[in-house]
Amino acid sequence: MKSLRLIALGAWLVAGTGIPAFAQAGADFSGVWQPRYHEDQPDRIPGPELTDYTGLPINDSARQYANSWDPSRLTLPEEQCRVHVSPYIYRGPLNLRIWEEKDPKTQDLIAIKHYSSTFEQTRTIWMDGRPHPGPNAPHTWMGFSTGRYDGDMLIVETTHLKKGWVRRNGVPMSDQAKMTEYMVRNGDVMTHIFVLVDPVYLTEPLVKSQEFVRSARELPAGTWLWVCDPVLEIADRPEGEVPAYIPGEHPFKDEYARRHQLPEIAVRGGAATMYPEFQEVMKKATMPPPLPKPQPGATRVTGAGQQQQSR
Amino acid sequence: MQTPLSRKARILSLAAALAVGAALAVGTAVAQQNQNFDNVQIDTVKVRDNVYMLVGAGGNTTVFTGSDGIMVVDTQFAPLSTKILNAIRAISDAPIRYVVNTHVHGDHIGGNEAISKAGRFRAGGNVVGDLGAAATATAVIIAHENVLKRLSADPAPGQPQVPFAAWPTETYITKRREFLFNGEAVQIIHEPDAHTDGDSAVFFRRSDVLATGDLFTTIMYPYIDVANGGTIDGYVDALNAIMDITVASNVNEGGTMVIPGHGRLSDEQDVVEYRNMTTIVRDRIKEYVKRGMTLEQVKAAKPTLDFDTRYGTDTGFWTTSMFVETIYKQMAEKYPPAKPAQSRNQQKGKSE
């Protein structure tokens, strides 16, 4: 009789009666994970070339923002330690530690924690059914995340993000963006997919995926640290100056298209450039003149961050 | 120095107030008639243990509590006073000692009268002897001197005078006014000729919270209220001054918390983004002015395109077009285009 009462109580809890709806158990992602860069490697490791917006569903506002973005802005003391937002941080080099936090009394899953060595960011994915904060709450680099399981797949919704970027050459992500993530574990491989919706700078959702491999052992402590102390890098810069190009006057605005012999309509991005049909458009487009060949003996850095010696 | 409001400036100010249906100009009474506050709910956001942000329909209100009593920074619109007071009382039942106004606009001073009357100040000696209960019957209202000048000037045509009881009872004319309250240094810092000519930011030093008034918002382009002494250069300077006060963590997050005039709770990084935007737009238009471009040419160049989807609007009292025009006019005054050199024959009035 007693066991029947316990089962009834359990059913009542699961049915949802105002008691926090703890997520059902799914795959356990706990452990140390390291990314593999087979996907989008040039974008993620050496970094994108300036004015390369291919495959990004950006609008005109985002394009102008990126075309005006001067990398020298990152030398400002207030910009030197800026963190990659959570929709970007998983794309870069990082070590990722994941663990679960459980209620000691009930062993219910309260939260899943992600610690990223890059920028020493700790991210909390709440699994206890709590709502997202209201519109007046502060925004953070990692945002506010809640998760749930669909089978073994972890689905995470994130809001309250700070302004960041979707590509490391100045293509912006606004603080109005929201992200949905899907995490799946297949043995020691974790696939992480995110869908980013940004009403300010994107005309369609941006979808990216990346994979991580579980490390068999803990990493040295130092590999988990990211110490950033801003310093004055350009001593004679006038106070308050914000490096930026006048729209349309980016000194390298044609370089990417010319180097790779891509039409301007492709490199400027936009939703249409994401789809296979765009290849037909490209075939009909005018190609820009190629970059002049480097002088003999010159060292040239190519798009993938490799050096090439001209003969 | 404040220059007296011209008739034209007052009319412009009134037009702005009417157009917005109330929001930001001095003429509170007429503006309030156009706005229904019945459904406004006050959202109380805890910033620190003793500092709260109240978000309603006007500018954000800051509530600072402690053993000495309560300080209220900005009071939103008059019809919201009961709701604001209820929100304050839900935080603390300590006496309201101070009201601070960050600037002159009606959405920040509207509740001055009701909220100051709900409080009381301390006085003793011959002050009480001379004034009786009036010496302590209300909370002190502090603002920069220029706020009092604006409020006590003749109102714009069709606008009633802001009630005497809503005027600041104490003003300051220096760079800052500071005192100890609730065991903590409170610094009221004047930023000249920015949003208006009477702007103050209020820094709670131990709590590490800065209430900026409309020197920083998260919802719109900087409102340069020219009629009330605002300038774009002053606004940029004010944003940089805010960043001089705020200190973030080593990853540019948290640290000093910033309560904006409008919008969500922020930190230094949010101010950095807003400062960047304001500076970039100002500098573009300055460059265009130096190149001799007309206002129409500048607008056609879309100097705000990269920020319009975040801050821009084509309707309301402060459109993107007005933002660009205001900067253009102020830059054109500062950097007048060089007159083309005349040839010797032209100087002599001869044709070549």
Helices (H), A169-227: none
Residue B250 has pLDDT above 90, yes or no: no
User: Count of CB atoms within 10 A of residue A263's CB?
Assistant: 16
Q: Return the higher-pLDDT residue of B35 and B293.
A: B293
In a domain? residue A276: no
Give the pLDDT mean for B273-282: 98
Task: Determine contact, residues B194/B213, Cβ cutoff 8 Å.
Answer: no
In a domain? residue A195: yes
List chain B residues with CB under 8 Å of A83.
251-253
Query: CATH number for the domain including B34?
Result: 3.60.15.10
Rounded mean pLDDT of chain A? Answer: 90
In a domain? residue B337: no
Residue of A119, A121, A122, A139 to mutate for B, most B C-beta atoms under 10 A: A139
Q: Return the higher-pLDDT residue of B199 and A5.
A: B199
Identify the closest residue of chain B to A242 by CA–CA distance: B276
Question: Going by C-beta distance under 8 Å and a sequence separation of 6 or more, which residues neighbour residue A115?
Answer: A96, A97, A98, A121, A122, A123, A224
Count of domains forming chain A = 1
List chain B residues with CB under 8 Å of A239.
240
Interface of A with B in 250-309 (CB under 8 A): none
Q: From the centroid of its chain, how far is CA A176?
A: 15
Give the pLDDT mean for A99-127: 97
How far off is chain A from B221, nearest CA to CA, in Å? 15
Identify the closest residue of chain B to A122 by CA–CA distance: B251
Domain range for B62 is: 14-262
Q: What is the pLDDT of residues B193-217, one digit of tens each?
A: 999 999 999 999 999 999 999 999 9
Chain A touched by B233 (CB under 8 Å): no
Taking CB atoms and an 8 Å limit, are B253 and A228 in contact across chains? no
User: Count of CB atoms within 10 A of residue A249's CB?
Assistant: 10
Residue B17 has pLDDT above 50, yes or no: no
Nearest by CB to B301, which of A134, A239, A247?
A247
Domain range for A216 is: 31-48+76-224
Chain A and chain B share a number of CB contacts under 8 A equal to 103
In a domain? residue B342: no
How far off is chain B from A85, nearest CA to CA, in Å? 11
Q: What is the pLDDT of residues B97-131, one digit of tens each?
A: 999 999 999 999 999 999 999 999 987 787 777 77
Residue B87 has pLDDT above 90, yes or no: yes
In a domain? residue A248: no
In a domain? residue A109: yes
Task: Indicate the pTM of the whole model.
Answer: 0.89
Q: What is the pLDDT of residues A24-82, one digit of tens each?
A: 679 999 999 999 999 999 889 988 999 999 999 999 999 999 999 999 999 999 999 99
Instruction: Output DSSP code: residue B314.
Output: S
Q: From the centroid of its chain, how far is CA A296?
A: 40
In a domain? residue A105: yes
Q: Specify burial of residue A168 (Cβ count, 10 A radius: 0-12, 13-18, 19+).
A: middle
In a domain? residue A60: no
Count of domains forming chain B = 1
Identify the closest residue of chain A to B242 by CA–CA distance: A240
In a domain? residue A174: yes
Task: Determine contact, residues B264/B47, Cβ cutoff 8 Å.
Answer: no
Taking CB atoms and an 8 Å limit, are A176 and B275 in contact across chains? no
Identify the closest residue of chain A to B287 by CA–CA distance: A246
Q: At what angle do helices B320-334 and B232-245 cross, to 10 degrees?
A: 100
In a domain? residue A98: yes
Q: Which of A178-182, A251-255, B122-126 has the highest mean pLDDT?
A: A178-182
Query: CATH number for the domain including A191?
Result: 2.40.128.20
Residue B345 has pLDDT above 60, yes or no: no
Give the pLDDT mean for B280-303: 98
Chain A touched by B268 (CB under 8 Å): yes
The DSSP secondary structure of A61-106, one letter per residue, reads: HHHHHHHHB-GGGGGSHHHHTPPPPHHHHTTSS--EEEEEEE-TTT
Give the pLDDT mean for B288-295: 97
Q: How confident is the model at residue B342, as a pLDDT?
A: 63
In a domain? residue B350: no
How far off is chain A from B233, nearest CA to CA, in Å? 11
- CA A170 to CA B275: how far, in whole Å? 17
Tell me the longest C-alpha to C-alpha distance in chain B: 86
Q: At what angle do helices B232-245 and B268-290 cross, to 10 degrees?
A: 150
In a domain? residue B212: yes
